[in-house]
Chain A
Amino acid sequence: MSIDQQVNKVRIDPLSGVPTTGHEWDGIEELNTPLPRWWVWTFAATVVWSIAYCIVYPAWPLLHGATEGLLGWHSRTAVVQDIAALQETRAPILEKIKNAPIDTIEKNPELLLAARTVGRVAFLNNCAACHGAGAQGAKGYPNLNDDDWLWGGKLSDIRTTIEHGVRWDADKDTRSGTMPAFGRDGLLTPQQVSEVADWVRTMADLPDALAPEPAGEKLYNDNCAVCHGADGKGNQSVGAPNLFDAIWLYGSDKGAIVNRIMQGGGGVMPAWKGRLDDTTIKALTVYAHSLGGGQ
């Protein structure tokens, strides 16, 4: 049988009563069931919709640009408008935070709640990766809930740290103060590093501290006291930690302390001025300050 004959052979299928398309292969025939009416109408409606869409929204690329559509909609203007609308709904509360002197915010429960809410959102998006979702910190990243502050715990100190970062070279006003790499750069011999670490652990009254070599105390006074203080209480102007408050950013076992003396340096925090707006930084400052340890 030729293809022509196959194609033109149309008959009603006796079982279903539906006509066949005339296509038949190896005795199997294709039914020509009509499309459901709802489907046909829906299809027609989508065609009409697409024509309307092409008229109202930007659609067809032409030689010098795309058709603009009657609404004049554009994704780049739409997002600017959406954000402006969002800012408008937030404006009443953001204005209050913006206009209030920073040291009065915590005294006003309404303002404090607002600042903490704004600050919390910004904190989770920007700060939590290092300081932890609960500001609990991690090894090398300070806990913000306690009252131990490397660079000062007053509102103005915290704001400066957030704005300019810590050891963030791209910001010329960044917090700077870098511990020398006493071991790596050969300022102290490995033996001396071990001795001064023992002395620090004794001074800090750590339970498993070894009886230190007397040389450790002299080494401490000659090399460390200038920043960490003869009393070991640290110095916030250069970010030198208090060594005797039982808070150890990098751990208190001898290996960790030796490692710090060997490598020197310190943590790095990005500068957020420019990345975040001033009101958000103000809210973040109040948030960090109000976590428990603000001074």
Chain B
Amino acid sequence: MSNATHHAPPSGLQKLIETNSMMLVLGILLMVSVGGLVEIVPLFYLKNTIEKVDGVRPYTPLELAGFNIYVREGCYTCHSQMIRPLRDEVERYGHYSLAAESMYDHPFQWGSKRNGPDLARVGGKYSNDWQRDHLRDPRSVVPSSIMPGYPFLSKTLLNGEHLAEQMRVLRIVGVPYSDDQIDNAVADLAAQASSDDAGGPDVQKRYPNAVLGDVAGKTSVTEEDALIAYLQHLGVSVDFKLYDDKANIR
């Protein structure tokens, strides 16, 4: 080996780091924090990541309960909620997702894998009947589906006793729930699930564009009702006829 003699023994900084584990740890921390500063900090001030968009509101108690079930059942492991600004995705799913559309999701449900389709704009795409049939037995409506059935959701009564507390906690992290909304959480939960509950108009006053259930005279609210209310709200908040694509570029 002709170049063998060019390799000097480690010295200086290399020697210091390689022979001193605390120095190595400090060096790693320094590198990682530079990466963090460059990649994370700008998300808190760049215009297109913090843009305010008309129409986005906090979830109703029923939708929030549905969100909890969505997280509990791990729907995000197979369904994304993030339409990327790519031609094919916009063609199939609709307008690309905006950061503001998931600003009240804690934790966000963007997902990272699509065994099933993206759900960011599934709201209003199918009827409640279809959602029920599909959740109970996906293959009854989509023969080629590989999604597991969730028939137990329709047999499990919704436990809403901690929803008001959850709303209070969400308020701490920035979801603007009012006292009025939190005080009426349980009443709104039941009212939204029914199509003809006396409290329906109040729900819609507290939460603009809230869609009421399609079953009249409901006496009990199931987890399925909550999940469907959540799904039907996905991606319908922003009116993209009014949204200016160019306004928030950087």
Q: Residues of A with Cβ closer than 8 Å to B?
A: 3, 7-10, 12, 17-19, 21-23, 32, 34, 58, 60-61, 63, 65-66, 68, 74-80, 82-83, 86, 125-126, 129-130, 132-133, 138-141, 168, 170, 181, 267-270, 274-275
Q: Which of B19, B87, B91 sits near A7, CB closer than 8 Å?
A: B19
Enumerate chain A residues within 8 angstroms of B55, measured Cβ to Cβ.
none
Check: B36 CB closer than 8 A to any chain A CB.
no
Select which of A63, A74, A133, A270 is within 8 A of B250 by beta carbon: A74
In the complex, which of the residues A60, A140, A168, A181 has the most CB atoms of chain B within 10 Å of its own CB atom? A140
Residue in A closest to B215 when the chains form the complex, CB atoms: A265
Of B85, B128, B140, which one neighbours A79 at CB under 8 angstroms?
A: B85
User: Is chain A's binding surface mostly helix, strand, loop or mixed?
Assistant: mixed
Q: Are B42 and A61 in contact (CB under 8 A)?
A: yes
B90–A83 touching, CB < 8 Å? yes
Cα A79 to Cα B214 in complex, Å, equals 37
CB of A270 within 8 A of CB of B124, answer: yes
- Cβ of B124 and Cβ of A138 under 8 Å apart? no
Contacts A19-B4, A65-B250, A130-B141 aside, 17 further interface pairs with beta carbons under 8 A come to: A10-B7, A18-B4, A58-B250, A60-B38, A65-B47, A66-B250, A75-B85, A76-B48, A76-B249, A80-B245, A82-B87, A83-B87, A86-B87, A140-B129, A268-B129, A270-B125, A275-B124
CB proximity of B217 to chain A, nearest CB, Å: 8
B interface residues, Cβ below 8 angstroms from A = 1, 3-5, 7-10, 15, 18-19, 38, 41-42, 45-48, 85-87, 90-92, 94, 96, 124-130, 133-134, 140-144, 211, 214, 216, 241, 245-246, 249-250
Bound Cα distance A38, B249 (Å): 41
Which single member of B42, B92, B96 contacts A66 (CB below 8 Å)? B42
Complex contacts, B85 vs chain A, CB 8 Å: 75-76, 78-79
Q: How many contacts between A and B, using CB within 8 angstroms?
A: 109
* Nearest A-chain residue to B37, judged by Cβ: A61
Closest residue of A by beta carbon distance from B39: A61
Complex CA gap A114/B250 in Å reads 40
A219 and B87 alpha carbons, distance in the complex (Å)? 58
Q: How many angstroms from the CA of A83 to the CA of B1 in the assembled complex? A: 58
Question: Contacts A18-B4, A61-B42, A76-B245; is A170 near B127 (CB within 8 Å)?
Answer: no
Q: Find chain A residues with CB under 8 A from B5 CB.
A: 19
Nearest chain-B residue to A168 (Cβ)? B127
Smallest Cβ distance from A96 to chain B, in angstroms? Answer: 20
In the assembled complex, how far is the CB of residue B236 from the closest CB belonging to chain A, in whole angstroms?
9
A65-B250, A125-B92 in contact; A8/B9 too (CB < 8 A)? yes
Could you say which residues of chain B place their CB within 8 Å of the CB of A58? 250
On whether the beta carbons of A139 and B129 are closer than 8 Å, the reply is: no
Q: Report A-chain residues with C-beta under 8 Å of the C-beta of B127.
A: 130, 168, 267-270
Pick the contact of A21: B3, B9, B91, B140 (CB < 8 A): B9
Question: What are the residues of chain A within 8 A of B1 when measuring CB–CB?
Answer: 12, 17-19
Contact of B140 among A19, A75, A139 (CB under 8 A): A139
Do A141 and B141 touch (CB < 8 A)? yes
Task: Decide if A74 touches B249 in the complex (CB within 8 Å).
Answer: yes
Q: Are B125 and A126 interface neighbours, CB within 8 A?
A: yes
